[in-house]
Structure 1
Amino acid sequence: MPLIALDLDGTLVDQASAARAWAHGFVRGWGLPTHEVDVVTTALTERHPKDEVFARLVDRLRLPTSADEVWRRYRTEMPSLVTVNDDDRRALAELRAAGWTLGIVTNGMADNQEGKIRRTGLDTLVDGWVISDVVGARKPSPVIFHALAERLGCPLDGWMIGDSLEFDVAGGAGVGLQTAWIDSDGSDATSFQPDLVVQSVAAAAVTILDSSAMA
């Protein structure tokens, strides 16, 4: 079956809103100034390994705890904060019904990312997933995409849908997938050129289903 690989954070789940909710609790719990909510949220949504993010955060705020402990707390709490849009849920069901194999390919730690997948019910809407922490390679490395194809038992033939030009679009194109970029803020795709620019997974699904029906 043809493959649709999907990013998790910022694509299938609302990572930005969840990061802000976590930042509110973090700032309140440590008695920090309220303006730190914006600073912490921005740090959490940067596309950097989270161990580096939390090391800088703890150092800058001079917190009497370790970066590892704050990171552990983050990974424990985030799965209960993320949500999936109902339109995207329906789109995943429609894609599977049309014969597409769906797989999540995500950078991150296994406990955090798998927790999000299971807590949101995405585990029942896709055919499988790979997480960089488990396979030892991060997007845009071809290794993680090949690991997904092997896990799902299908060739790398189809689409990659994600919100990162660097990790999702470049990574997917690098292994021969067509790419759909989730452009949530109306910015221009100047660094890498996706095949499709949309605002949601549901919008990408409409185009993919229409094009496969006409093929």
Structure 2
Amino acid sequence: MPLVALDLDGTLVDQASAARRWSNDFVQAWGLPAGEVDTVAEALTARRPKGEVFGALVERLGVPAAADEIWLDHRSKMPSFVAVSDDDRRALIDLKEAGWTIGIVTNGMADNQEGKIRPTGLDALVDGWVVSDTVGVRKPHPAIFESLATRLGCTLEGWMIGDSLELDVAGGAAVGLRTAWIGDGSDPAGFRPDLVVDSVAAAASHIIDVGAHA
């Protein structure tokens, strides 16, 4: 069956809102100025390894704790802060009923990412997933997409849906997938997503309408 591969953070789950909730708690817990909430939340949603993020935050904010300690707190709490919209849940069900194989391909640590996939119920809505931590390679490297296809027993024929032009659109296109970009209102200069949408639900509706081979 054809594949719909999906990113996790910022695509299936609202990473920005979750990051802001954690940032607010973090700033309050350490008695930091309220204005630092925006700084911390922005850093958390940056597309860079989280180990680097927390090291930079601890140094900049002068927090008297090790970066690894703060990172562990983040990893333990963030899964409870994320959510999946009802429309996107319905879209995954519709895709499966239309005959698509559905998989999640995400960068990150296995415990953190699976801590979002399972509690949100995404594990029951998709056919499987791969996390960069467990396969040793990150998007946009082709090997992580190939690992997903192998795990799901399908070929790399279909679509990649994600919110990152560099990781999801370029990465998916490089392995032959058509791409749906969940846009942020900017011009995707230098990239050529096949579809620009505002949600997984919107992408799924288009994919189902055009069919597997259109």
Range into which the TM-score falls when normalised by the shorter chain: over 0.9
**Separation in 1 of the partners of 2:212 and 2:52?**
45
Q: Which SS does the other structure have where 1:32 is aligned?
A: coil
Contact 1:181 1:194 in 2 (8 A): yes
User: 1:191 Cα deviation (Å)?
Assistant: 2.3
Q: In structure 2, what residue type is equivalent to 1:79?
A: P
Which ranges of structure 2 fall in alignment gaps of 5 or more residues?
A: none
Contact 2:109 2:133 in 1 (8 A): yes
Residues 1:157 and 2:154 are matched in the alignment: no
CA deviation map 1:126-171 (0-9, x unaligned):
0000000010000000010000001101000000000000000000
Q: Which 10-residue stretch deviates more, 118-127 or 59-68?
A: 59-68
Task: Give the equivalent residue in structure 1 for 2:148.
Answer: 148
Instruction: Give TM-score, length-normalised by structure 1.
Output: 0.98
Residues 24-103 of structure 1 correspond to what in structure 2 (within 5 A)? 24-103=24-103
User: 1:214 Cα deviation (Å)?
Assistant: 8.9
Give the direction of change, closer, same or farther, for the CA distance of 1:59–1:158 in structure 2 (3 Å limit).
same
Q: In structure 2, what residue type is equivalent to 1:196?
A: L
Give the direction of change, closer, same or farther, for the CA distance of 1:170–1:188 in structure 2 (3 Å limit).
same
Which ranges of structure 1 fall in alignment gaps of 5 or more residues?
A: none
Q: In structure 1, what residue type is equivalent to 2:6?
A: L
**Separation in 1 of the partners of 2:134 and 2:16?**
24
**Separation in 1 of the partners of 2:169 and 2:212?**
24
Instruction: Give TM-score, length-normalised by structure 2.
Output: 0.98
Q: In structure 2, what residue type is equivalent to 1:109?
A: M
Give the direction of change, closer, same or farther, for the CA distance of 1:213–1:110 in structure 2 (3 Å limit).
closer
Task: Give the equivalent residue in structure 2 for 1:198.
Answer: 197
Task: Give the equivalent residue in structure 1 for 2:177.
Answer: 177
**Separation in 2 of the partners of 1:157 and 1:121?**
26
User: 1:213 Cα deviation (Å)?
Assistant: 7.8
Give the direction of change, closer, same or farther, for the CA distance of 1:75–1:214 in structure 2 (3 Å limit).
closer
**Separation in 2 of the partners of 1:188 and 1:122?**
30
Contact 1:145 1:172 in 2 (8 A): yes
Question: What is the aligned-residue identity percentage?
Answer: 71
Cα RMSD, aligned residues only? 1.0
Q: Which 10-residue stretch deviates more, 1-10 or 54-63?
A: 54-63
Moved >4 Å (runs of 4+): none
Task: Give the equivalent residue in structure 1 for 2:185.
Answer: 186
Q: Which SS does the other structure have where 1:191 is aligned?
A: coil
Task: Give the equivalent residue in structure 2 for 1:14.
Answer: 14
Task: Give the equivalent residue in structure 1 for 2:108.
Answer: 108
**Separation in 1 of the partners of 2:191 and 2:69?**
36
User: 1:119 Cα deviation (Å)?
Assistant: 1.1
**Separation in 1 of the partners of 2:190 and 2:88?**
27
**Separation in 2 of the partners of 1:191 and 1:74?**
34
Contact 1:165 1:191 in 2 (8 A): no
